[in-house]
Amino acid sequence: MKFKITFFAAVLFCQISFAQEKDSTTVNKLSEVTVTTGTRTERVLSSLPLPMSIITSEQIVKSGVTRLNEILNEQTGIILIPDESGFEGIQMQGLDAAYTMVLIDGVPLVGRTSGVLDLSRVSVGNIERIEIVKGASSALYGSEAMGGVINVITKRPVKDMFSGSLSYRYATFNTNDISTNVLWKKKKFAANLFANFYSTDGYDLDESTTLQNVEKFNNYTIQPKFYYDFSQNLKLIVGNRFYNQKMNNAAVIESENYNGDAKENEWNSQIKLEHKWNSKIYSEYELYATNYKNDSFLNDENDVLFEEAYYNQWLFRPELRTTFSIANDKLTTGVGLNHETLDRTYFDHNVNFNSQYVFVQYDYNPTEKWNLLAGFRYDNHSEYASQFSPKLAVNYKLSNNFSLKSSVGYGYKAPDFRQLYFDFTNPSVGYTVLGYNVAEDRLNQFEEQDQLLSRVAGISFDKPLEAESSINVNFGGFYKRNKLKIDVNTFYNAIDNLIDTQVVAQKNNGQNIFSYSNYNKIFTYGIEYNTTYSFTKEFVLSFGYQYLIAKDKSVVDNFEEYQYIRNSDLQTIKINKSDYFGLYNRSKHTANIKLAYTIPKIKTNVNLRVFYRSKYGMFDTNGNQILDQYDTFVKDYFLTNLSISKDLTEKVMLQAGANNVFNFTDPNQINNLAGRQLFARVQYNF
């Protein structure tokens, strides 16, 4: 452990000492990048007062990965990890997957399992860039954007062209990935057509069990996008995405084997008009509809249907945005509404959410040096209290190379359908979980049926369940000089009204009835550091590091309730407050080193990335219901990914490499880490 930290420190030091040397050879200027997610207008990344990063299509291609979860997992401050239920999701600034909104071309994906969005649904074959905004972004995006926003932006042909690519990749576990992407533009018409087929046998970390960690599945994505320019000032965009996945469904319940299928279907449709009224006023009219469907079944050994489950979510969202340019400043306004429905197993009936919202943002540039971003969003919702989400961000440019930035924002996450309407009784154990809005009626029913022993005193469902809310503060700086680029951000998030389950009643069978409630407060803080140093044009080294503390405020405030633990002899001992480690599934240190080396002579590019995650705990192991230093932890680990690309001709690229080169696995504790995956890819560009 000590060695590992020393190693990182050494690399960091090297970078700084190299940076201090004045190099007279060719300066590899890091070009300016334009982004849209942070403000919904085009802005230069480096001058933006928000913590934001991007992943370019070049980085994606060179890394050799194929799905969105894989490429995001390689970014500093982002980690894709399974939660307690085993669903892999994104953790940003120490916040769970439920608090990050994921957009494709500015419109959100739906279809979450226990709040977690499966990002392996998104293929990266047609991506221009991925923009990542960290910290509360509810002032523009509303609920779910409490921890941040990830916007996947697909390629758009800008001049008359016909080009495309065809790619085939084969990897360990019999994984096949076939992609084709066509970009075409002729005068007023343009199109981006993308298709992908992916199949894998899955993997099994423990051969002695009947079930695999990931069962065999295949999926395809078809994503046609059309553009028509009525004029320079009026442009139409029609984008569609279809996704279909079929997976083996298997389960072992009370030592009986069950088998079946699980199907996912997703459809996203976006119609957008870009309207430039004049040089000062620009509007976008957008209609978005999406449907996520999931159907699964299990048959027993005699092929008799044992269990069926379905999930069918719709989102319909018209939105209108207008930006007014006033001298050096920009005023952006937006108005829209959400109509959401969900029909699923364990819901009594099909449920609806309706909300209307407005947002305003003023991008103020009083002098060359100062940039101020102030805005708010107001959401009026059918199921919970209205939300007002303000945000203020400032960027101060000390020089062309050095700027400081800070932002303060309010974030919120509305109670989701499950937290309000779930009605589930575990068939084998007999416990029940009830959504907040249906709990009172169902408890009365249980009582009438004589199934209730007692209700927990002091719990009522009179007041509506409140949205979770957060205050987010960021302070950081950006430094760029010659071959060096440094980006630092410190962050703080305080989340209030966190929704969690609690026992509300006891049944005659001795089991509990759970429901949701606004439960506790947590806070996270830390620092994120990113640096890139280009030794030469051909050799670029980068280092990223995040330090994170995430704790439950009620544990910190009432530590007396958690100070006794049980040692391995089962005896109780008393511990100190300083022994409290923090929330589950959070590592204090995460870091990465990336090395990109190009050998122009043989047109070869070597891309090596090493990732580190320090120890973390998944649950309490010594009886005090919190994670403390004496608990059993998942050990820290390194992962190494390598890819080597070679341009055989102008048009043909060959690629080979390995993810998880050193075959690190921890079958008992980390279920989403498959072993080494070798891969080879051939890509033909036309």
Partner 1 sequence: MKTNFLKLSFLALVLFTASCSSDDNDNTIPAVETIKVSNLNAPQTGGQGQPVGGEFTKFSFSENKVVTTDKWDVAFRGTTIIVNGGAKVGINDEPERTGSGAISIVSNTFASVTTFPAATTFAQDGAAVYAIPTGSGNGWYTYDSTTHIISPIAGKVFVVKTHDGKYAKFEILSYYKDAPAVPTGTSLSPFYTFNFAYQANSTTTF
Q: Do 502 and 539 touch, CB atoms closer than 8 A?
A: no
Nearer CB in complex with partner 1: 339/507: 507
**Does residue 503 bind partner 1 (CB under 8 A)?**
yes
State the minimum distance, in angstroms, from the CB of residue 668 to partner 1. Answer: 11
CA 470/CA 457 separation, integer angstroms: 29
DSSP 3-state of 175: strand
Nearer CB in complex with partner 1: 114/604: 114
**Binder to partner 1 among 34, 352, 444, 509 (CB under 8 A)?**
509
CA 382/CA 366 separation, integer angstroms: 40
Report CA dihedral (322, 230, 108, 422) to the nearest 10 degrees.
100
Distances from the Cα of 577 to the Cαs of 323, 452, 606, in angstroms? 51, 39, 47
Within 80-99, which residues bind partner 1 (CB under 8 A)?
84-85
**Does residue 24 bind partner 1 (CB under 8 A)?**
no
Nearer CB in complex with partner 1: 538/561: 561
Nearer CB in complex with partner 1: 503/595: 503
State the minimum distance, in angstroms, from the CB of residue 452 to partner 1. Answer: 10
Cβ atoms within 10 Å, residue 57: 17
Nearer CB in complex with partner 1: 16/211: 211
**Does residue 429 bind partner 1 (CB under 8 A)?**
yes
**Does residue 624 bind partner 1 (CB under 8 A)?**
yes
**Binder to partner 1 among 367, 454, 578, 649 (CB under 8 A)?**
454
**Does residue 431 bind partner 1 (CB under 8 A)?**
yes
**Does residue 208 bind partner 1 (CB under 8 A)?**
no
What does the angle CA 578 – CA 584 – CA 589 come to, to the nearest 5 degrees? Answer: 75
> Residue 458: which residues within 8 A CB-CB, separation 6 or more?
none
DSSP 3-state of 461: coil
E strand or H helix that includes residue 391: strand 387-397
What does the angle CA 131 – CA 137 – CA 143 come to, to the nearest 5 degrees? Answer: 115
State the minimum distance, in angstroms, from the CB of residue 453 to partner 1. Answer: 7
**Does residue 226 bind partner 1 (CB under 8 A)?**
no
Nearer CB in complex with partner 1: 205/575: 575
**Does residue 560 bind partner 1 (CB under 8 A)?**
yes
Nearer CB in complex with partner 1: 427/600: 427
State the minimum distance, in angstroms, from the CB of residue 565 to partner 1. Answer: 5
CA 46/CA 31 separation, integer angstroms: 10
Nearer CB in complex with partner 1: 159/574: 574
Cross-strand partners of 611: 592, 639
**Binder to partner 1 among 339, 566, 603, 646 (CB under 8 A)?**
566
State the minimum distance, in angstroms, from the CB of residue 586 to partner 1. Answer: 19
What burial letters (b/e) apply to 279-305, b meaning 16+ CB within 10 Å?
Answer: eeebbbebbbbbbbbbebbbbeeeeee
**Does residue 577 bind partner 1 (CB under 8 A)?**
no
Question: Binding segment for partner 1 among 116-124, 330-338, 343-351, 568-576 (CB under 8 A)?
Answer: 568-576
- Residue in 363, 379, 369, 392 with CA at minimum distance from that of residue 473: 392
Give, as one character, the DSSP assignment of residue 21: S
What does the angle CA 169 – CA 171 – CA 177 come to, to the nearest 5 degrees? Answer: 35
Q: Do 171 and 678 touch, CB atoms closer than 8 A?
A: yes
State the minimum distance, in angstroms, from the CB of residue 522 to partner 1. Answer: 18
Nearer CB in complex with partner 1: 106/115: 115
State the minimum distance, in angstroms, from the CB of residue 81 to partner 1. Answer: 16
**Does residue 570 bind partner 1 (CB under 8 A)?**
yes
Site string for partner 1, 351-390 (x = CB under 8 A): ----------------------------------------
CA 422/CA 683 separation, integer angstroms: 47
State the minimum distance, in angstroms, from the CB of residue 292 to partner 1. Answer: 26
Q: Where are the beta strands (DSSP E) in 232-368?
A: 234-253, 256-276, 281-299, 305-326, 329-344, 351-364
Question: Binding segment for partner 1 among 23-31, 187-195, 424-432, 543-551 (CB under 8 A)?
Answer: 424-432
Question: Binding segment for partner 1 among 49-57, 194-202, 380-388, 619-627 (CB under 8 A)?
Answer: 619-627
Q: Name residue 416's amino acid.
A: D
**Does residue 453 bind partner 1 (CB under 8 A)?**
yes
Q: Do 608 and 624 touch, CB atoms closer than 8 A?
A: no
DSSP 3-state of 443: helix
**Binder to partner 1 among 41, 554, 563, 685 (CB under 8 A)?**
563
Nearer CB in complex with partner 1: 564/662: 564
Nearer CB in complex with partner 1: 304/429: 429
**Does residue 445 bind partner 1 (CB under 8 A)?**
no
- Residue in 52, 114, 55 with CA at minimum distance from that of residue 88: 114
What does the angle CA 42 – CA 47 – CA 52 come to, to the nearest 5 degrees? Answer: 75
**Does residue 423 bind partner 1 (CB under 8 A)?**
no
Site string for partner 1, 151-190 (x = CB under 8 A): ----------------------------------------
Q: Do 461 and 440 touch, CB atoms closer than 8 A?
A: yes
**Does residue 430 bind partner 1 (CB under 8 A)?**
yes
Q: Name residue 176's amino acid.
A: N
**Does residue 512 bind partner 1 (CB under 8 A)?**
yes
Contacts 24+ apart (CB under 8 A), 664-667: 664/637, 664/638, 664/639, 665/205, 666/634, 666/635, 666/637, 667/205, 667/206, 667/213
Distances from the Cα of 382 to the Cαs of 80, 420, 433, in angstroms? 33, 13, 23
**Does residue 561 bind partner 1 (CB under 8 A)?**
yes
Kind of pairing between the strands at 148-154 and 100-104: parallel
State the minimum distance, in angstroms, from the CB of residue 427 to partner 1. Answer: 8
Kind of pairing between the strands at 604-613 and 589-599: antiparallel
Nearer CB in complex with partner 1: 624/643: 624
Question: Binding segment for partner 1 among 75-83, 533-541, 617-625, 673-681 (CB under 8 A)?
Answer: 617-625
Q: Tell me, by CB under 8 A, how many residues bind partner 1.
A: 35
Question: Binding segment for partner 1 among 225-233, 245-253, 422-430, 535-543 (CB under 8 A)?
Answer: 422-430
What residues line the site for partner 1 (CB under 8 A)? Answer: 84-85, 426-431, 453-454, 503, 506, 508-510, 512, 560-561, 563-566, 568-574, 619, 621-625
